[in-house]
Chains A and B, each alone.
Chain A
């Protein structure tokens, strides 16, 4: 991440540390705090089985008597204590959040990767070849851009659900989410990469590569790609925040992660049911986690955009 602005490839940490971007990073408290929060949340999600005190999906460790235990107060029947309380089935809320965040982050990262691969490839092709290829790709992008991406994701989810036999729907739901969200956000990548490619195509190094007879594909992926990557990084970060929110929204609406594999959105959907009966912790803690995650990644993306923007130097 730190070596994107420097003109020559950096070989050691020391050089990375001395780069412009790293300097800006060290002098922006918001960026440092956001990165720390993001890394902490990601690590605790990745190592959920080690961090979480319980495995909420192991029926053997569940005790229905522990249901609705408030945070940090011993349960009236069993005397067990839970950091963030338990839900209606006696699952430890802290553990379900860690496992839920795993699913949220997995869907987020996978969807952005999918959108990025499709968008960058199509953007490069459209920008390099131009002509009718460009026209077709960009028209499709325009059409899709007419609709909010959450709506596109919902439609893809609904259609994919129709394709899957009922008994497999829960199993593949996570992958359907990845595809739905990924296909709904490739347009941003394609537009930016196309714009950057149009600029690069006219530069001398591309002309030179053409003259010495290198193939179009090796020019595109060997030369142009690395020069259009810094805006892609910014969009990918902001897309990650959007993808996490999109996943949570879809799951909250009941068109996403199934109850057997609850993501943060599913947990909030479940928690909303207890809003009126006073069990606030089932709703509050997953919501706060989702908010911190989305906000931290968003702020990081915002900072990255400003830091990489040559106009603001």
Chain B
């Protein structure tokens, strides 16, 4: 158990080192940032000055070392496009993405588990079959089409909900939240559904198949023979044992929610980190891309690690 955790920690560290190297290589080998920032009319003196301001005239190893130290410090350099520190831009955008991810994660987990249990218990029912069919379409439907469809229905046709932006936000100590105003909450609905729908169908299908698998086991048959009520069998005995794989997948999906927020944020012009990243990809703004890559890797690695620890905590068979 202990050695397992140590191994996982080392592996996580290795992943981050590799990602750090990839991010740093992006800085060094992709395009010439000076060209990107100054354009063609810049004078040689301007170019030299900017090169030394950005530290691009120093040797590779020195730059890599500085990069690692700076990254640990939360300093990712200056955006080629906006000319401001990347850390500042990201800090300003992070609340939008985190709030969106939190709401869609909650939606995906509750919706997925409830529908999963329902479709497993009422396996032959009409409604359960209907949900399963719709979910298959949901999995094939690209996220951005779901977003556009929702905008068309609820913004264009019905005019109930806003089609873009966060609505009114309240600033609490540097954290801009949309939870406290009516328009902020309304603006959250469509993007959260768009972002969470895919994860919800995934969790639902997983809960369903795990539940069906568990319900076939001997101990369930035995519980039934003992005359336990259906409710006790389904929720106390079966559900518990489906949770191990569900937690793994759900945990991993939480990371994807933040990554997939890129698409949702583009559809809804949600001023979050994802939109920042996709704009950076379009304009080859390497510092922003690298910072995003590092941040998201730290998050993914942390989530993976947490899931592994939880896994052991939940399943007593793994503790020996």
**Chain A: residues with CB nearer than 8 A to chain B?**
139, 142-143, 146-148, 150-151, 154-155, 157-159, 161-163, 241, 245, 248-249, 252-255, 268, 272, 275-276, 283, 287, 290-291, 294-295, 298-299, 302
In the complex, A253→B269 CA distance in Å? 11
Closest residue to B301 on the A side, CB-wise?
A: A146
| CB proximity of A119 to chain B, nearest CB, Å | 20
Residue pair A268, B144 in contact (C-beta under 8 Å):
yes
In the complex, A149→B14 CA distance in Å? 20
Which residues of chain B are within 8 angstroms of A254 by Cβ–Cβ distance?
Answer: 266, 278, 282
**CB within 8 Å for A143 and B143 given contacts A159-B30, A162-B30:** no
Which residues of chain A are within 8 angstroms of B30 by Cβ–Cβ distance?
Answer: 159, 162-163
Residue pair B144, A147 in contact (C-beta under 8 Å):
no
Q: Looking at chain B's contact residues, is the secondary structure mostly helix, strand, loop, or mixed?
A: helix
Residue pair B296, A162 in contact (C-beta under 8 Å):
no
In the complex, A147→B277 CA distance in Å? 15
Partner of B142, one of A142, A146, A161, A248: A248
Q: Can you list 25 residue pairs at the A/B interface with Cβ under 8 Å?
A: A143-B19, A147-B296, A147-B297, A148-B260, A151-B259, A154-B262, A154-B278, A159-B30, A161-B281, A248-B142, A248-B144, A249-B142, A249-B263, A252-B142, A253-B144, A253-B262, A253-B263, A253-B266, A254-B266, A275-B156, A290-B145, A291-B145, A295-B137, A298-B140, A302-B136
In the complex, A303→B14 CA distance in Å? 39
Q: Looking at chain A's contact residues, is the secondary structure mostly helix, strand, loop, or mixed?
A: helix
| CB proximity of B76 to chain A, nearest CB, Å | 15
12 more A-B contacts (CB under 8 A) besides A249-B143, A253-B144? A142-B11, A147-B297, A158-B280, A161-B284, A163-B29, A248-B144, A252-B144, A252-B266, A253-B266, A255-B278, A294-B140, A295-B140
Closest residue to B252 on the A side, CB-wise?
A: A146
Residue pair B301, A249 in contact (C-beta under 8 Å):
no
Residue pair A249, B140 in contact (C-beta under 8 Å):
no
Closest residue to A294 on the B side, CB-wise?
A: B140
Which residues of chain A are within 8 angstroms of B282 by Cβ–Cβ distance?
Answer: 254-255
Q: Interface digits, B1-17 against A, CB 8 Å rule (1 contact, 0 not)?
A: 00000000001001100
In the complex, A142→B296 CA distance in Å? 16
Closest residue to A169 on the B side, CB-wise?
A: B284
Kindly identify, within residues 280 to 303 of chain B, every residue whose CB is under 8 Å from any CB belonging to chain A.
280-282, 284, 286, 289, 293, 296-297, 300-301
B193 interface hit (Cβ, 8 Å): no
| CB proximity of A109 to chain B, nearest CB, Å | 18
The 9 closest A-B pairs by CB, nearest first: A162-B30, A158-B281, A162-B31, A295-B140, A162-B284, A151-B259, A298-B140, A148-B259, A245-B142
Which residues of chain B are within 8 angstroms of A241 by Cβ–Cβ distance?
Answer: 140
Kindly identify, within residues 158 to 193 of chain B, every residue whose CB is under 8 Å from any CB belonging to chain A.
163
Closest residue to B280 on the A side, CB-wise?
A: A158
Closest residue to A284 on the B side, CB-wise?
A: B152
Closest residue to A283 on the B side, CB-wise?
A: B148
B26 interface hit (Cβ, 8 Å): yes
In the complex, A151→B259 CA distance in Å? 7
Closest residue to B16 on the A side, CB-wise?
A: A143
B127 interface hit (Cβ, 8 Å): no
Residue pair A268, B148 in contact (C-beta under 8 Å):
yes
Closest residue to B281 on the A side, CB-wise?
A: A158
Closest residue to A161 on the B side, CB-wise?
A: B284
In the complex, A298→B297 CA distance in Å? 30
Which residues of chain B are within 8 angstroms of A154 by Cβ–Cβ distance?
Answer: 262, 277-278, 281
In the complex, A290→B140 CA distance in Å? 10
In the complex, A163→B143 CA distance in Å? 29
| CB proximity of B311 to chain A, nearest CB, Å | 16
| CB proximity of A195 to chain B, nearest CB, Å | 18
B120 interface hit (Cβ, 8 Å): no
